[in-house]
């Protein structure tokens, strides 16, 4: 006999992903509007200070924004306001209302969330027919004092015992969220890490990408915009090898064709800018691309059209490897294109990854040591790059140090120099690896570290193919069991 089972939870909106809670700062609607473009799933309007009329007016604006971006709109504690705004639900604190009354007034089609601080409170919320629980504080937070924190282990303790989603809250940032997600949180609630940022849209994008770390493979989508390398070691070919071997899905838009092998580039045929734009639009109109990696562009027209299409599609995660010359010395970027890159493309970059000669050409500085690298990184940040990674392989030290600058602090990534002439494709592959790890939900510092370890192994295992600078070994680097990537 067949038994029909009706799952009422499936008839209600789920709660997952990035859960944004409002603050009491100025320009609230404007800042929320920016943040919603970065992948917010749920917005909770929390207002303990404004009078009822002002709360209603702001609530109406926030609801309209949520409707436009298909984001669930939740009211904090104020059931009357939730009903007036016909919000998607209400969230109650432990001392802020009766869940039974809220459920009766909201009806079955709306969301009811309850703040909890322990397994016992979470189970009680579930028994009271809550659709989800807010759980925390996970970490210390500046928005309110908490007697103790739960940590990611607190989330893990809940997951096997609850049937409803868990929204982790309290002190969560881009860099400390991964353990919370790995512990099983369905959503993370964030306030200041996004709304106090100078770029709420980018801050929201960084955190929303972290949820890809629990997705099935291929995990994350990377679009590479670069030149084709007929020798297969760098450019589009090297990028797609890197992206695929590291577990993401790679798409491409070709900016130029090259006739090249390990001994050098003999000819370059740029793609018409209009056709490059068509390739980019074809991909971005269809696939939910998480990160765009940029390599060789060749002409000022291609550089300009790429900047235009990235802006039109609202791409925020753009890794730019400013390819200027081939390993053998052939020019791959026209002088006029460099000016366009500095003016239009660098300001769109989430991460800029020049080597020392490229950083010198972009800034006009002479770099001979790590102090010079730091000075150049500051200059490139002032040009508009959100983050700058200057690669130190062209310096002569026995240890190769790459320096990451995020506008506030420097982080150094150091590895022993591998003595090898088989280094064709190192810059392309490193940038592609970082883009891949970002798309898979790794915060920027971790993505750079994993990319650095990958390219170091790729050089270490390189085979002497051809008569010149052989390619790095993408395959062995991705699969080396003796030195697993973290």
Count the Cβ atoms, other than its own, within 10 Å of residue 129.
15
Contact 155, 183 (CB under 8 A): yes
- Say whether 426 is catalytic: yes
> 175 — phi, psi (to 5°)?
-85, -20
- From the list 241, 391, 452, 457, the catalytic residue is 391
- Say whether 428 is catalytic: yes
- Say whether 391 is catalytic: yes
Spatial distance between the Cα atoms of 140 and 470, rounded to a whole number of angstroms: 50
- From the list 224, 242, 426, 436, the catalytic residue is 426
Q: Three-class SS of residue 177?
A: helix
In the 3-class helix/strand/coil scheme, how is 364-423 assigned residue by residue?
CCCCCCHHHHHHHHHHHHHCCCCEEEEECCCCCCCEEEEEEECCCCEEEEEEECCCCCCC
- Say whether 423 is catalytic: yes
DSSP per residue, 272-315: PHHHHHHHHHHHHTTS---EEEE---BSHHHHHHHHHHHHHTT-
Location of structure tokens 């200027």: 324
Residue 274's contacts (CB-CB under 8 Å, 6 or more residues apart) are 305
Question: Does residue 391 have a cis bond before it (omega within 30 degrees)?
Answer: no
Location of structure tokens 């969301």: 111
* Closest by CA position to 306, among listed 284, 324, 287: 284
Residues facing 168 on adjacent strands: 135, 188
CA atoms within 13 A on the CB side of 241: 26
Spatial distance between the Cα atoms of 297 and 341, rounded to a whole number of angstroms: 10
Spatial distance between the Cα atoms of 351 and 321, rounded to a whole number of angstroms: 9
Count the Cβ atoms, other than its own, within 10 Å of residue 97.
17
Tokens of 285: 């109109």
Q: Three-class SS of residue 84?
A: helix
Q: Is the dihedral of CA 364, 329, 455, 478 positive or negative?
A: positive
- From the list 303, 353, 428, 460, the catalytic residue is 428
- From the list 116, 262, 423, 436, the catalytic residue is 423
Location of structure tokens 């590479």: 224
Spatial distance between the Cα atoms of 365 and 152, rounded to a whole number of angstroms: 45
- From the list 250, 425, 441, 470, the catalytic residue is 425
Query: How does 153-162 read in b/e, with b if 16+ C-beta sit within 10 Å?
Result: ebbbbbeeeb
Q: Tell me what percent of the chain is helix, strand and coil, each rounded to the nearest 5.
A: 40, 20, 40
- From the list 38, 134, 392, 427, the catalytic residue is 427
Q: Is the dihedral of CA 285, 70, 34, 21 positive or negative?
A: negative
Q: Is the dihedral of CA 295, 300, 301, 307 positive or negative?
A: positive
Catalytic center residues = 391, 423, 425-428
């Amino acid at each position: 006999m067949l038994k029909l089972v009706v799952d009422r939870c499936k008839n209600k909106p789920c709660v997952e992903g990035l859960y944004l809670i409002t603050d009491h700062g100025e320009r609230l609607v404007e800042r929320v509007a920016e943040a919603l473009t970065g992948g917010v799933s749920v917005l909770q309007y929390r207002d303990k200070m404004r009078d009822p009329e002002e709360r209603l007016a702001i609530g109406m604006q926030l609801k309209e924004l949520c409707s436009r971006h298909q984001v669930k709109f939740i009211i904090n504690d104020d059931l009357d306001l939730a009903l007036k705004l016909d919000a998607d639900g209400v969230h109650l604190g432990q001392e802020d209302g009766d869940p039974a009354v809220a459920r009766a007034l909201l009806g079955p089609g709306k969301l009811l969330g309850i703040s909890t601080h322990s397994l016992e409170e979470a189970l009680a919320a579930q028994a009271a027919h809550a659709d989800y629980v807010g759980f925390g504080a996970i970490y210390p937070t500046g928005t309110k004092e908490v007697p103790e924190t739960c940590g990611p282990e607190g989330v893990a303790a809940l997951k096997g015992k609850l049937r409803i989603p868990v929204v982790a809250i309290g002190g969560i940032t881009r860099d400390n969220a991964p353990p919370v997600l790995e512990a099983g949180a369905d959503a993370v609630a964030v306030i200041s890490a996004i709304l106090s940022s100078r770029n709420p849209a980018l801050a929201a994008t960084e955190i929303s990408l972290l949820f890809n770390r629990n997705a099935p493979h291929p995990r994350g989508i990377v679009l590479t915009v670069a030149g084709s390398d007929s020798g297969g070691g760098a450019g589009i070919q090297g990028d797609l090898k890197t992206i695929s071997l590291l577990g993401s899905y790679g798409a491409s838009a070709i900016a130029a064709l090259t006739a090249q092998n390990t001994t050098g580039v003999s000819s370059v045929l740029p793609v018409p800018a209009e056709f490059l734009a068509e390739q980019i639009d074809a991909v971005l109109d269809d696939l939910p691309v998480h990160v765009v990696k940029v390599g060789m562009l060749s002409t000022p027209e291609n550089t300009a059209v790429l900047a235009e299409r990235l802006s039109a599609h609202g791409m925020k995660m753009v890794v730019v490897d400013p390819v200027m010359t081939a390993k053998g010395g052939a020019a791959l970027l026209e002088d006029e294109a460099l000016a366009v890159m500095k003016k239009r493309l660098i300001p769109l970059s989430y991460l800029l990854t020049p080597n020392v000669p490229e950083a010198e050409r972009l800034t006009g500085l002479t770099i001979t040591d790590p102090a010079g690298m730091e000075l150049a990184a500051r200059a490139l940040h002032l040009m508009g790059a959100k983050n700058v990674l200057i690669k130190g392989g062209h310096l002569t030290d026995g240890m190769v140090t790459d320096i990451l600058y995020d506008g506030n602090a420097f982080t150094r990534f150091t590895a022993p120099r591998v003595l090898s002439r088989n280094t064709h494709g190192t810059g392309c592959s490193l940038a592609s690896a970082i883009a891949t790890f970002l798309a898979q939900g790794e915060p920027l510092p971790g993505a750079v570290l994993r990319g650095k370890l990958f390219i170091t192994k790729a050089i270490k295992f390189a085979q002497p193919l051809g008569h010149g600078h052989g390619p790095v070994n993408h395959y062995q680097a991705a699969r080396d069991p003796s030195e697993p990537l973290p």
